[in-house]
Chains A and B, each alone.
Chain A
Amino acid sequence: MSTPVAIDFETYHALVQLYADYAYAVDSGDWSLWPDFFVDDCSYRLVPRENHERGFPLATLAFESKGMLRDRVYGIKETLFHDPYYQRHVVGAPLVRAASDGRIESEANYAVFRTKLNELSTVFNVGRYIDVVVRTAEGLKFKSRTVVYDSEMIPNSIIYPI
């Protein structure tokens, strides 16, 4: 059992809302929604669990600014050829590890299903979000989101944000 961290209901509700909104955004097909979940000086890393646990610095994707996230959106929309697919995130309840002065460290399990046109739905990528969330004038935003995935053998490619 994790040690419970005292957090008021309103803050926890806002955190749950952030996770739900993020899942909605990355499943919507409107990729331009994605960067705005982050502060300008942010980190987004998609990391195989092996690299994470063995301390290897390589990520499958490693973005260090909101600009890089927007560059990725441009790549998805304009340059990356791919077989189109739907994706569907199911995100577990956030586990709060630390909370203080408008900064929350939290985690959540996730599963992403992929459905290609005319094909059956499959489990695409499962893992855990490890996040630092900060309070801003526009509400809670990710300062960092590290996506550590168990599904180390990627079914060909990952195009859309997880």
Chain B
Amino acid sequence: MNRPPSASVFPGQLAWENAGTSRIPFMSYTSDALHKLELERFFYRDHWCYVGLEAEIPSPGDFKRTVVGERSVILVRDMDGQVNVVENVCAHRGMSFCRERHGNRKDFTCPYHQWNYSLKGDLQGVPFRRGVKQGGVVQGGMPADFKPADNGLTKLKAAVRGGVVFASFDHDVEPLEDFLGAKVLAYFDRLFDGRALKLLGYNRQRIPGNWKLMQENIKDPYHPGLLHTWFVTFGLWRADNKSQLVMDDHHRHAAMISTRGQTGQADEVTQVASFKADMKLEDPRFLDIVAEPWWGGPTAVMTTVFPSVIFQQQVNSVSTRHIQPDGHGAFDFVWTHFGFADDSDEMIQRRLRQANLFGPAGFVSADDGEVIELSQQGFEQKPFHRTLAELGGTGVGDTDHMVTETLIRGMYEYWRKVMEA
């Protein structure tokens, strides 16, 4: 389809070619109106969004400013030790009052008029609420029927599992475990198995592409052996890797599970032109991989939880990758690398070293950001067109191989169901 179907390069309406989801309209990535509807339906209603790790706020009063969708929120541990998530908008004049990215507080005060909130988000102080006495007469003040209880910060529903905190503006959202579904929950629990997490640090990047492209990137096992030639060159990606793709019942979340091939000559099984059998790292410590008991086999599990987060295990490197949309054409991608409290110093060092593969400068992740930026450029110039995700057919289902784009089709099956409702 090299000419617009009707007359216009700029269609007024999103149009799918058929009832399936293997041909995704470019317009689903380029429309501000659709983007706002996605925020409403995926980020602000019916879904849990990732907000952080308990290890980021270990002590009472610790807080971290983050976002749910495009709304600034504060993840905070209160004096009772409970984890709360509140919206960073003052109930009085709407100011986004919290400016530090992290810290420790006994309460929150908006600097504009000193309205003061508890760490649970309850309004507890309004200056001059009872007015000011001047010459024996009380002047001004809030109306007598003003109720602090009705004027707290917006409180989100929070759920903590395995040290990971999710939040939702929707208090009727289903339980987190149901939201993840049994199959994806099993992979979540494999990584976050209850051991205390040790925070290693952050990487942040702004990727000029639609946020869904990041979900799709980690639902696309077609590209790693082709785009990420570093993986292939140094034998980490091999065609004899044992693989499995699983989804939740809604096909919105997924796990890509792979176990490194161990048998045969790597060059016989790689089947990719960029593999170079004689190419060796000058410093092999980048790939000083040591199997860990909790892996239970798989050497890499990449879990996409729709819409907001990716959980990464790539050999010894583990991280959360938080997707923070910024309009239809960009998102911030925040990487939080961690280890486990019972890690040896050597294991921490190994995780940090393998982190060179990932993040905004990583040997295999930097190019993901680049291709997302350039995909968005293609969409913007040709919004009447569509992508083609038909590797492995046009259907949706779990597989025991990687030669398929089924997870992308599954995500759009869910997307259509929610967006067309």
Contact = CB atoms under 8 A, between A and B. Distances in A.
Interface of A is mostly: mixed
A154 B201 contact: no
Interface size bracket, A side: 35 or more
Majority DSSP secondary structure for residues of B touching A: mixed
Interface in A121-162: 152-159
A156 B369 contact: yes
B229 A79 contact: yes
Interface stretch (B26-34, B177-185, B281-289): B281-289
A75 B206 contact: no
Nearest to B207: A156
Contacts of B356: 61-63, 68
Contact of B283 (A64, A81, A159): A64
Contacts of A14: none
A65 B202 contact: no
A128 to B, nearest CB: 18
B366 A159 contact: yes
Contacts, number: 120
A91 interface: no
Q: Which of A50, A80, A82 has the most CB of B within 10 A?
A: A80
Contact of A60 (B199, B228, B229, B359): B359
Interface string B348-370: 10001101100111010011011
Nearest to A161: B361
B361 A81 contact: no
A71 interface: yes
A3 B208 CA distance: 44
B271 interface: no
B283 A80 contact: no
Contacts of A50: 101, 201-202
A82 B369 CA distance: 9
A83 B359 CA distance: 17
A156 B374 CA distance: 11
Interface stretch (A22-30, A51-59, A106-114): A51-59
Given A67-B283, A156-B208, A82 B370 contact: yes
Given A82-B366, A83-B373, A71 B360 contact: no
A96 interface: no
A80 B352 contact: no
B173 interface: no
B355 A80 contact: no
Contacts of B202: 48, 50-51, 56, 58, 152
A135 to B, nearest CB: 25
Interface in A56-112: 56-65, 67-68, 70-72, 75, 78-83
Interface of B: 101-102, 199-208, 227-230, 233, 274, 281-283, 285-286, 332, 337, 348, 352-353, 355-356, 359-361, 363, 366-367, 369-371, 373-374
